[in-house]
Amino acid sequence: MSQTKQGPLAGIKVLEFGQIAAGPFAGMLFADLGADVVKVERPDVGDGMREWPPFIANAEGETFSSNFSSLNRNKRSIAVDFKSPEQLARLQELCARADVIIENYRPGVLAKFGLGYEALAGRNPKLVYGSITGYGQEGPYAHKGAFDVTIQAISGLMSVTGEEEGDPVKCGVPVADFTAGLYAAYTVVAAVLAAERTGRGAYIDCSMLGSVLGISALQTSEYYGNQAAPKRLGSAHPRNAPYQGYRGSDQPFVIAAGNDKLWREVCEAVGRPELAADPRFATQTLRARHQKELAALLQRTFFTRTAAQWLEEFDRRGVPCAPINTFADILNDRAVAESGLLHKLELPNGAATTTVGYPVKLSGYEFGIYRQPPRKGQHTNELFEEWGVGHYERNNASIR
């Protein structure tokens, strides 16, 4: 496995003070496009996700976290004891050589160690420093603890997720963590470009709450448009119908007839062409208004054939449709296998797994895994020497 990778971000030095999800995900986005991303961990605890199962064992029984691996490929790791004045001074010197710092500690934590933006930018004016927190650096919630589920709850996201008559539910994917990571990485890249032009870096305050509200544009605009909070609709859509899940004779599936032409195809497919002219369903707005009646009419017919039969029929007619897959289903789907999304990932213990790679294709660049997810502190000595800080307590077993 090559230890270097050329890519659109090659040459950019990133220090990632990241733990669990949002910070490490942002860091991995940089690493996947060729930046030199170095994960800074404490020698005692490290990134807590190292302890998350499932664990993949080698022949000798040595294990490594699959969850950790999924967010930390293509990085290096150094271990630094923040309580050691010598080690901390070396780390501060290392920060002066970085182009980017990404961190997702609580507000003020890194500043206590001289690792906040103001202290570091004084030595490195071009530094771009991205902080990811639950609620931002200032305001009444700034020091309130946050995890993905609490942000999904407070942001309103849970209020529109779940069945109409049921309780709000959390999205199964940690949307708040990964959305914040995406917003942070995108903004850091913009700031790096500006720093190249102006010679001045920037501080980026990215909150998980703000990020979730940012992707909730349709829901927030609905509230401001009619002064009513959007509601849960299960798999249905507030402005489109039929646009939801239905059940065949054996299992559920989804169709999305998002315009009048597709609606007419649905009417033909179910053998009810007269529904297209029904005054309740004549326009998209009317279909959405009467979608419960519409769903009941269609569901009676959908029960007569299997989901696979209906999907074949709708595919033939060009109506967007899909099975409701498990992750086992989609990860074994031919389309995913042929897409190049799946990559073999060798772990530090010699075992191997499969991971989903960088999902966006870019002309002139081919994504690859060029570094294993690191052991904690695996690259401490080599990194400090390589970045020009010199030897770093080579014999200290806690940071080797």
Which of 36, 177, 250, 315 is an active site residue? Answer: 177
Report the sign of the C-alpha dihedral through residues 47, 51, 56, 60, in that order: positive
Per-residue HEC secondary structure of 20-76 comes to: CCHHHHHHHHHHHCCCEEEEEECCCCCCHHHHCCCEEECCCCCEEEHHHHHHCCCEE
Pairing of strands 55-57, 63-65: antiparallel
Q: Is 177 a catalytic residue?
A: yes
Residue 54: asked if its preceding bond is cis (omega within 30°), the reply is yes
Beta-bridge mates of residue 247: 252
| Helix (H) or strand (E) run with residue 79 in it | strand 75-79
Angle, in degrees to the nearest 10, between helices 22-32 and 175-198 = 50
**Sheet of strand 202-207, all strands in order from the earlier edge strand to the far edge:** 75-79, 36-41, 13-17, 100-103, 128-133, 202-207
| Of 127, 106, 123, the residue nearest 114 (C-alpha) | 123
In the chain, the amino acid numbered 3 is Q
* Token pair in block for residue 169: 């539910």
* Token pair in block for residue 259: 């315009």
Tally of CA atoms within 13 A in the half-sphere of 72 that contains its CB: 32
Pairing of strands 252-256, 243-247: antiparallel
Contact of 312 with 258, CB cutoff 8 Å:
no
Q: At 306, is the secondary structure helix, strand, or coil?
A: coil
* Token pair in block for residue 194: 């500006």
| Of 190, 298, 175, 198, the residue nearest 243 (C-alpha) | 298
Residues classed as catalytic? 177
